[in-house]
Amino acid sequence: MDLAGASALVTGGASGLGEATVRRLYAAGAAIVIADMNGEKGEKLAAELGARARFVRTDVTNTEQVQAAIAAAQALAPLRAVVGCAGIGWAQRTVSKEGFPADLGAFSKVVEVNLVGTFNVLRLAAAAMSQNPPLKFGERGVIINTASVAAFDGQIGQVAYAASKAGVVGMTLPAARDLSKAGIRVLAIAPGTFDTPMLALLPEEARQALAAGIPFPSKLGHPDEFAMLALHMIENPYLNGEAVRIDGALRMPPK
Q: Which residues belong to the active site? A: 161
Q: Rounded to the nearest 5 degrees, what angle is found at the Cα of 196, between the Cα atoms of 190 and 197?
A: 145
Nearest to 23 by CA among 218, 238, 203, 226: 226
Please report, for residues 63, 74, 145, 162, the alpha-carbon distance to residue 119 in angstroms, rounded to integers and kept in the order given. Answer: 11, 20, 9, 16
Contact 122, 187 (CB under 8 A): no
Q: Rounded to the nearest 5 degrees, what angle is found at the Cα of 85, between the Cα atoms of 165 and 144?
A: 80
Q: Can you list the alpha helix ranges (DSSP code H) found in the chain?
A: 16-27, 39-49, 63-76, 104-111, 117-129, 150-153, 159-178, 197-200, 204-212, 223-235
- Half-sphere exposure in the Cβ direction for 50 (13 Å, CA): 7
Dihedrals phi, psi of 161, to nearest 5 degrees: -65, -45
